[in-house]
Chains A and B, each alone.
Chain A
Amino acid sequence: MKKREAANSFSAGLPVAVSDIDRELKKLWQETNGTATRASLINLAVYSEESDSLARNTEIVSQITEENSCRALVIAANRAAKKNHVAAWISAHCHVGSARTKQVCSEQISFALEGPCARSLPNIVFSHLDSDLPFYLWWQGEFHDPMEEQLWSWVDRLIYDSQLWTDVNGQMRLVEEAQADARQRVVLCDLNWTRLRPWRLALAQFFDHPAEQDYLNEIEEVEIAFAPGSRNAALLLAGWLAAQLGWMPADRSDDVLSFESASCCRIQVQLREKAGAGLSGCRLLCGRTEFSVSRRKANPLLACRSRHGRRRRDWQLLPIGPDEPAELLGEELRHGGSHRVYLRALQTVRDLF
Chain B
Amino acid sequence: MNESPDQLHPNPLREGLATRSAPQSCTLVIFGATGDLTHRKLIPALYNIVADGEAPPALTVVGFARRPKTDKSFRDELAKSVRKHSRQKLQPRIWKEFAQSIFYHRSEFNNAAGYKSLAARLKKIDAARGTQGNHLFYFAAAPDQFAPILKHLKAAGLNKAADGSWARVIVEKPFGSDLASARRLNRIVRSSFAEDQTYRIDHFLGKETAQNILVLRFANAIFEPIWNARYIDHVQITAAETLGVEGRAGYYENAGALRDMVQNHLLQLLCLVAMEPPTDLSADSIRDEKVKVVRALRRFDAEEIASEVVRGQYDDGTINGEPVVAYRKEPKVDPNSRTETYVALRLLLDNWRWANVPFYVRVGKRLPKSATEISVHFKRAPLVLFNKEAPTIDQNVLVIRIQPDEGISLRMQAKIPGNNLRIEPVKMDFRYGTSFGKASPEAYERLLLDAMSGDATLFARRDEVEQAWALIDTIEEAWAKQKETPPYEYPSGSWGPEAADDLLARDGRAWRRF
Contacts and interface: CB of A to CB of B under 8 A. Distances in A.
A80 interface: no
B58 A316 contact: yes
Contact of A209 (B24, B51, B55, B432): B24
Nearest to A340: B16
B506 interface: no
Contacts of B434: 37, 39, 69, 97, 99, 102, 104
A41 B58 CA distance: 37
Contacts, number: 116
A204 B93 contact: no
A318 B436 contact: no
B9 interface: yes
Contacts of B417: none
A204 B438 contact: no
Contacts of B55: 316
Q: DSSP class of B's interface residues: helix, strand, loop or mixed? A: loop
Contact of A66 (B8, B14, B437): B437
B56 interface: yes
Given A201-B53, A316-B59, A319-B51, A216 B12 contact: yes
Contacts of A37: 434
Q: Interface extent on B, as a size class?
A: 35 or more
Contacts of A66: 437
Nearest to B13: A204
A157 to B, nearest CB: 15
A71 interface: no
A301 interface: yes
B439 A205 contact: no
A316 B93 contact: no
Interface in A183-211: 197-198, 200-201, 203-211
Given A97-B433, A210-B5, A315-B58, A244 B25 contact: no
A209 B97 contact: no
A204 B58 CA distance: 14
Interface residues of A, number: 51
Nearest to B429: A37
B437 A68 contact: yes
Interface string A82-110: 00000000000001011111101000000
A334 interface: yes
B16 A337 contact: yes
Interface in B82-136: 93-94, 97, 130, 132
Given A197-B17, A315-B58, A41 B51 contact: no
A39 B430 CA distance: 10
A301 B433 contact: no
A339 interface: yes
Interface in A318-339: 318-319, 321, 334, 337-339
B17 A65 contact: no
A98 B53 contact: no
A341 interface: yes
Interface of A: 37, 39, 41, 65-69, 95, 97-102, 104, 197-198, 200-201, 203-211, 213, 216, 241, 244-245, 299, 301, 304, 313, 315-319, 321, 334, 337-342
12 contacts: A67-B437, A101-B433, A204-B14, A207-B11, A207-B13, A208-B24, A213-B9, A244-B12, A317-B97, A337-B16, A338-B16, A341-B16
Interface of B: 5-6, 8-9, 11-17, 22, 24-25, 51-53, 55-59, 93-94, 97, 130, 132, 164, 404-405, 431-439
Given A104-B434, A241-B13, 7 more contacts: A97-B437, A98-B436, A197-B17, A213-B9, A301-B93, A304-B57, A319-B52
